[in-house]
C-alpha cells in the first residue's frame, strides 16, 4: 500500500529537510509545501504583525503554486507544522481536505496559543492537534502534548567526544526582546567560567529593530551594532554548537514550551543553561546537565563541577525525530 504524505512546514533552519528524510525512511512518499508565500524577512515580519496584510500574496501563492502541485494527488496523511510564519487561510485548508476526504489530518503547533491565536480557527480541519507547550495542553484537552525533537545530526555529535572546546558557551538565535535580555544576562554572568563566547543575536531587518527599539523596554539600551543581519548557515550552526562547552537558551515571551535548542542539547549530550523554569518538569531533567538561570551563576553548582550524566536510553530515544513523527502519524 502506498503511503503518501503532504507536509506543510516552514523553511526554518531547514528542519523540513530532516523531517522529509525521516519520513522517507519510514516508507512515505513526501510532497512538501512551504507555509508562507515568501521567505523574505520583510514579508515574514509583516505577516507576524497581521496576516491580513499578506492575504493577497498568500492567495496568489496558494492558487498558482500549491494548488497545481497537489490538486491531482491523493494523500493518506496531511501534516501541518504551524509556527509564526504560517500564512495559509482556513478556506485553503478546507479545499485540501475536500480533495482528501479520507486522509488523516494532523497539526503540530510549534508555539504557544498565546503567540499564535489565529491557529485556533483552523483546528477544526484536523483529526489531532499536538503542541509543544505543556501549559497549553494542561489548559485545553484538545491538545496532545508532544515536545520537540533532535535530529540524527545531533545524535552523531553525542558520539564525538571533545577534550578541548573552542567556545566556553554559545548562543545563536533570533533576537526577540526577552531572549535578547536573558541571553545577555547569562553571558555576562558566565564571563569568569566561559570567557570565550559566541553570542549571535540575529535581527531579520532594520525595520524589526526599529519596531522593537520603539516598543520593547529590553531594547532601550540596545544598539543596532549589537545585532547581526546575516543568517548563519546550518552547517556553521552545527559546527559552533559542536565546538561549545555550554549552550545558552531562553524562550521568547509568552512561551513555556521547550525550544528545539533544548532538545538538541539532549540529543547531542551537551550541557544547557536556560531561563525556562518549566524544564524541571520533564523526564530528562538532571541538574548535572541542565542549569536553570535565575539571575546568578554559582560556579560550585553540580552543573559546573560534574561531567555530563547520560540519561536512560528509553527517555533519550523518546525525543528523537523518528519517535516524534511516529507518535503523530502512526
pLDDT at 251: 87
In the chain, which stretches have pLDDT less than 70?
Answer: 1, 38-54
Q: Which residues contact 286 (CB under 8 A, 6 or more apart)?
A: 309, 311
pLDDT at 111: 84
The answer to whether 258 and 132 have CB atoms below 8 angstroms apart is yes
pLDDT at 44: 60
Give the three cell numbers for residue 307: 561531567
Q: Is the pTM of this model over 0.85?
A: yes
Give the chain's domains with CATH numbers.
4-146 (3.40.50.2300), 152-318 (3.40.50)
> Which residues are 144's β-sheet partners?
130
Question: Which H or E element spans position 20?
Answer: helix 15-25
> Which residues are 143's β-sheet partners?
129
Q: What SS3 state is found at 214? A: helix
The answer to whether 272 and 251 have CB atoms below 8 angstroms apart is no
Amino acid at each position: 500500500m502506498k503511503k503518501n504524505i503532504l507536509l506543510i512546514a516552514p523553511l526554518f533552519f531547514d528542519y523540513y529537510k530532516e523531517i522529509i528524510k525521516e519520513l522517507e525512511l519510514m516508507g512515505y512518499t513526501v510532497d512538501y509545501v512551504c507555509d508562507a508565500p515568501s521567505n523574505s524577512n520583510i514579508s515574514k515580519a509583516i505577516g507576524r504583525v497581521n496576516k491580513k496584510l499578506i492575504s493577497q500574496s498568500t492567495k496568489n501563492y496558494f492558487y498558482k503554486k500549491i494548488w497545481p502541485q497537489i490538486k491531482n494527488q491523493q494523500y493518506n496523511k496531511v501534516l501541518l507544522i504551524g509556527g509564526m510564519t504560517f500564512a495559509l487561510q482556513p478556506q485553503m485548508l478546507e479545499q485540501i481536505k475536500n480533495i482528501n476526504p479520507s486522509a488523516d489530518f494532523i497539526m503540530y503547533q510549534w508555539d504557544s496559543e498565546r503567540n499564535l491565536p489565529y491557529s485556533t480557527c483552523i483546528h477544526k480541519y484536523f483529526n489531532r492537534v499536538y503542541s509543544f507547550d505543556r501549559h497549553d495542553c494542561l489548559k485545553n484537552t484538545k491538545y496532545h502534548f508532544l515536545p520537540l525533537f533532535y535530529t540524527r545530526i545531533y545524535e552523531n555529535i553525542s558520539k564525538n567526544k571533545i577534550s578541548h572546546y573552542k567556545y566556553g558557551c554559545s548562543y545563536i538565535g533570533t533576537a526577540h526582546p526577552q531572549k535578547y535580555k536573558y541571553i545577555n544576562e547569562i553571558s555576562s554572568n558566565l564571563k569568569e567560567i566561559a570567557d570565550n563566547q559566541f553570542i549571535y543575536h540575529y535581527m531579520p531587518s532594520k525595520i524589526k529593530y526599529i519596531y522593537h527599539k520603539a516598543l520593547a523596554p529590553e531594547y532601550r539600551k540596545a544598539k543596532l551594532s549589537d545585532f547581526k543581519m546575516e543568517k548563519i548557515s546550518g552547517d556553521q550552526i552545527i559546527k559552533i554548537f559542536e565546538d561549545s562547552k555550554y549552550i545558552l537558551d531562553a524562550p521568547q515571551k509568552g512561551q513555556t514550551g521547550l525550544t528545539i535548542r533544548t532538545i538538541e542539547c539532549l540529543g547531542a549530550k551537551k550541557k544547557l543553561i536556560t531561563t525556562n523554569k518549566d524544564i524541571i518538569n520533564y523526564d530528562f531533567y538532571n541538574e548535572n546537565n541542565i542549569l536553570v538561570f535565575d539571575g546568578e551563576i554559582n560556579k560550585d553548582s553540580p552543573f559546573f563541577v560534574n561531567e555530563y550524566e547520560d540519561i536512560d536510553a528509553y527517555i533519550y530515544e523518546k525525543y528523537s525525530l523518528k519517535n516524534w513523527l511516529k507518535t503523530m502519524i502512526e
